[in-house]
Amino acid sequence: NAGVTQTPKFRILKIGQSMTLQCTQDMNHNYMYWYRQDPGMGLKLIYYSVGAGITDKGEVPNGYNVSRSTTEDFPLRLELAAPSQTSVYFCASRPTSYEQYFGPGTRLTVT
Amino acid sequence: ELKVEQNPLFLSMQEGKNYTIYCNYSTTSDRLYWYRQDPGKSLESLFVLLSNGAVKQEGRLMASLDTKARLSTLHITAAVHDLSATYFCAVDMSAGNTGKLIFGQGTTLQVKP
């Protein structure tokens, strides 16, 4: 199993550009999550999904969108990038038990 | 407001010493997690605590949960340099076990030889 994979690893965006962060898991987990981590801080939940076709907002959803058309994939969309979205983005997945498994992260800079 | 607070935020200690990291949270929950993060890396799960009085141990680390006090501790015994990292606690405050975690700010541990 590859676990949770994220692409790209790094990205620099200009203000106003759009992009999609990809997240895929091969563990057949129902639950998936997107977090952001600002420098020196803990993670904050952006969006989550409890299964294909079902998504909901977390703590900091503004400026982001998600979709979940398959169990494996949970892409995060930034429509109009702003400097405040400069962060490291982590995707995670979880089976019906409790522990979340994190991907390697995507480091995004918006200038 | 849902809050998770860790104390201390930074800890510099000598090898061989013991210390405790505290994690306080603001509302009822019986699901608490400890993670480790090395610089520039992702999060690694350390402990899952799912009931009042739960205690888990792995090597030099021991975690406990007191849901009545809304407090978890991560105790480090005889620290070694390899334990240098940032440690996060996270609390699941969702009503339906959806795994919506609220993270603490993290405690950066530096173990000096």
Q: Kindly list the domain boundaries of chain B, sorted by start residue.
A: 4-88+103-112
Domain B4-88+103-112 annotated CATH 2.60.40.10: yes
pLDDT at residue B2 in the model: 83
pLDDT at residue A18 in the model: 96
DSSP A73: B
> Of all residues in chain A, what percent carry a pLDDT higher than 90?
90
Q: Is the pLDDT of residue B52 over 90?
A: no
Q: Cα torsion at A9, A14, A18, A22 (round to 10°)? A: 0
Cβ within 8 Å of A, B 23-62: 31, 33, 41-45, 48, 50
Of A99 and B8, which is predicted with more confidence? B8
Q: What stretches in chain A show pLDDT beneath 50? A: none
Cβ within 8 Å of B, A 49-78: 50, 56, 58-59
The whole-angstrom separation of Cα B78 and Cα B21 is 14
The CATH code that applies to domain A4-110 is 2.60.40.10
Report the chain A residue with the minimal C-alpha distance to residue B5. A42
Whose CA is closest to B61, among B50, B75, B45?
B75
pLDDT at residue B95 in the model: 76
> Of all residues in chain A, what percent carry a pLDDT higher than 70?
100
Whose CA is closest to A74, among A29, A43, A16?
A29
Query: A61 — alpha (psi -120 to 50), left (phi > 0) or beta?
Result: alpha
Query: B45 — alpha (psi -120 to 50), left (phi > 0) or beta?
Result: beta
Using pLDDT thresholds of 50, 70 and 90, give the confidence band for residue B91: very high
Q: Is the pLDDT of residue B68 over 80?
A: yes
pLDDT at residue B98 in the model: 85
Structure tokens of A7? 């692409």
pLDDT at residue B22 in the model: 98
B99 with A33: Cβ contact below 8 A: yes
> Of all residues in chain B, what percent carry a pLDDT higher than 70?
100
pLDDT at residue B94 in the model: 80
A102 to chain B nearest CA, in Å? 6
**Which residues partner with B101 through β-bridges?**
B92
Residues of chain A with C-beta less than 8 angstroms from the C-beta of B51? none
Whose CA is closest to A106, among A90, A85, A92, A93?
A90
The whole-angstrom separation of Cα A88 and Cα A47 is 15
> CA distances (Å), A24 to each of A48, A97, B33, in order?
14, 19, 23
The whole-angstrom separation of Cα B72 and Cα B83 is 19
Please give the biggest Cα pair distance in chain A. Answer: 40
Q: Is the pLDDT of residue B60 over 80?
A: yes
Give Cβ neighbours of residue B16 (< 8 Å, ≥ 6 apart): B78, B79
pLDDT at residue B11 in the model: 94
